[in-house]
Amino acid sequence: MDLEIKNLHVSIDDKEIVKGVNLSVKHGEFHVVMGPNGSGKSTLAKAIMGHPRLKITQGEIIVDGVNIADLTADKRAKLGIFLQFQNPLEIEGVGFVNFLHTSKRSVTKGDVDVNQFMGEVDSWTKKLKITNGIVGRSLNQGFSGGEKKKAEILQLALLKPKLAILDEPDSGLDIDAIKVVAENINEIGEKQEMGLVVITHYNRILSYMKPKFVHVMVDGKIVAEGSTELIEKLEKEGYDSFVGK
């Protein structure tokens, strides 16, 4: 799946947040979007997913040659696009395993072999070092920040989208968990040939990741693009050196 974002402008309540973003993510490519808090990264991610509160005032979001800007979030998910929220919702009364199974059936448009599926749940739960029985609880209910993030990586592993946008998969994680999450994201992306866009404002997770392209977003615009060398430059100079360019 190829994603091509062209001159995208996005507003919330008539305030422009994303101010003309171009971004191209080809099949199976791994991209990172970095930027300070409030630069519009989450808004960009939500716009790609079709968040109903956002208004696309200009530009296009093209998936495999088709503009998806008018599709509902549900239809975009069925195309194979996945968004990990920066702040996942807690849903009372919806068992996590049930939720996973229903989501899987919805994206595969058919039956899922329950035994095989539970085997996969079990194996990824171990790989992600998910403990405390969260798999048996309601979705995100009482999950710690780190558990919510791991729960979303578990969804990523099981749902196998074609393109995934992960919004701060490192927030709320301790150092050991960051490593586990990063390594699993690398593995899932490679094995599934999944297009990945990882959003972060913090470079620690990037020391365990192997993105091909890095984009820096400041004040609603992509102000720099390049390879992982850009991460080193950011580490030394901070975001300030990119402001006003």
Ligand X SMILES: Nc1ncnc2c1ncn2[C@@H]1O[C@H](COP(=O)(O)OP(=O)(O)O)[C@@H](O)[C@H]1O
Question: In one letter, which amino acid is 189?
Answer: G
Confirm or reject binding of residue 86 to Mg ion (CB under 5 A). yes
d(CA 57, CA 11): 7
Which residues does 122 contact at the CB level (< 8 Å), separation at least 6? Answer: none
Partner whose binding site includes residue 35, from ligand X, Mg ion, none (CB under 5 to 8 Å by kind): ligand X
184 interface partner picked from Mg ion, ligand X, none, CB below 5 to 8 A per type: none
Phi then psi dihedrals of residue 22, to 5 deg: -115, 130
**10 Å Cβ neighbour count for 97?**
15
CA distance 4 to 145: 31
- Name the site residues for ligand X (rule: CB under 6 A): 12-13, 17, 35, 37-43
- Least distance in Å: CB of 122 to ligand X? 34
Closer CB to ligand X, 10 or 25, in the complex: 10
| Residue 21 vs 180, nearer CB to ligand X | 21
Nearest distance from C-beta of residue 219 to Mg ion, angstroms? 14
Please choose which of ligand X, Mg ion, none residue 38 contacts, taking the beta carbon within 5 to 8 angstroms, the exact cut-off set by kind. ligand X
From Mg ion, ligand X, none, which one binds at residue 13 (CB under 5 to 8 Å depending on kind)?
ligand X
Q: Are 45 and 200 in contact (CB under 8 A)?
A: no
Given the complex with Mg ion, which of 35 and 59 has the nearer CB atom?
35
Residue 197 C-beta: closest distance to ligand X, Å: 13
Partner touching 17 among ligand X, Mg ion, none, CB below 5 to 8 Å by kind? ligand X
Residue pair 124/157 in contact (Cβ under 8 Å)? The answer is yes
Point out the residue whose Cβ comes nearest to Mg ion. 42
Q: What is the chain's length?
A: 245
Question: Is the CB of 31 or the CB of 41 nearer to Mg ion?
Answer: 41
Residue 200's binding partner out of ligand X, Mg ion, none, with CB under 5 to 8 Å set by partner kind: none
Question: Minimum Å distance from CB 75 to ligand X?
Answer: 22
Contact range with Mg ion by CB under 5 A, out of 6-14, 84-92, 157-165, 234-242: 84-92
Q: Per-residue contact track with Mg ion, 40 to 59, x per CB under 5 A?
A: -xx-----------------
Residues that bind Mg ion (CB under 5 A): 41-42, 86
